[in-house]
Amino acid sequence: MKDEFANRQNMHLTVLKLLENPAFQPAWKNQKPTAFTTRAAEFGTVVNGLTQLISDQQAATTGYAGDKEREEEELETLAHEIGQTLSDWFEENDREGDAAQIDLSLHRWQRLRDAELIAKARLLHTKLTAALAEDAAGLAEYGLTPDDATALKKETDDFERVTADPSAAISRRKALTAALRPKFRVAAVLLKKMDRLVPRLRRNPGGPEFAAAWAASRIIRDLGGSAGETDESPGTPEPEAPAA
């Protein structure tokens, strides 16, 4: 999400915190004009929806990256463990050529590109499966069983699947980004309507203090750092939707 929209959402949360402050509620809650109370409830619902939507949007990308990293590490660790053991068995049976194809250090497994890692892991699975069919009892002495072949295939399949998913993650993120537009619009409209009622609330006990706090809460602060602060008046144009 662009800084502009992060800043705007931060302003929304500041306003919501003000409305939830018991010290200021006597000045506006269920006080004339009661339309302000109605709009405050609507605003809380909209802001909470925006918070969830923004969280989902960010998770659509970061979640994919986290899944990929986890699956990659699991495959590399298991492939290295099985590869080292199977290499030793091959060498003990004078099959240095077979051993050389799968005798990789953990660092070398980690250096493989995605497609190379998948291909090498599948080669290892093929050799392990063939070796088990040839001499299961001998491999059992090395701690290698059909369960290892099953686990290796699963980890390889899992990693291959997650590497094919970035397009799905990007599509979901774009859909969530598009959904932000109407939510930001509704929040902006509600705030402008509430702005118009604040002067009337000054008539209530504590109203002047609430009006001053309201004005301060409506300032959009640039948390990114350079543009300073802007006062969002009822005439402030609504921003475009954030880029995907």
Q: What is the DSSP letter of 231?
A: E
User: How confident is the model at residue 177, as a pLDDT?
Assistant: 77
Cα angle for residues 224, 230, 233 (degrees, 5° grid):
140
Q: Which pLDDT band holds residue 237 (cuts at 50, 70, 90)?
A: very low
- Long-range pairs for 184-188: beta carbons < 8 A, 24 or more residues apart: 184/5, 184/8, 184/50, 184/238, 184/239, 184/241, 185/238, 186/46, 187/12, 187/43, 187/46, 187/47, 187/50, 188/236, 188/238
Residue 171 has pLDDT above 80, yes or no: no
Instruction: Name the residue with higher pLDDT: 133 or 221.
Output: 133
User: How confident is the model at residue 168, as a pLDDT?
Assistant: 61
- Give the residue extent of every domain in the chain: 3-63+179-231, 68-163
Cα–Cα dist 49/63, whole Å: 20
Instruction: Name the residue with higher pLDDT: 162 or 231.
Output: 162
Q: Which pLDDT band holds residue 1 (cuts at 50, 70, 90)?
A: low
Question: Using one digit for the tens of pLDDT, what is the confidence trace for 118-165?
Answer: 999 999 999 999 999 999 999 999 999 999 999 999 999 999 988 876
Q: Percent of the chain at pLDDT above 90?
A: 71
Q: Percent of the chain at pLDDT above 70?
A: 84
Q: Which pLDDT band holds residue 203 (cuts at 50, 70, 90)?
A: very high
Q: Which range among 23-37, 44-58, 67-81, 127-141 shows the weakest confidence by mean pLDDT?
A: 44-58
46-62: average pLDDT: 80
Residue 240 has pLDDT above 60, yes or no: no
Cα–Cα dist 73/79, whole Å: 10
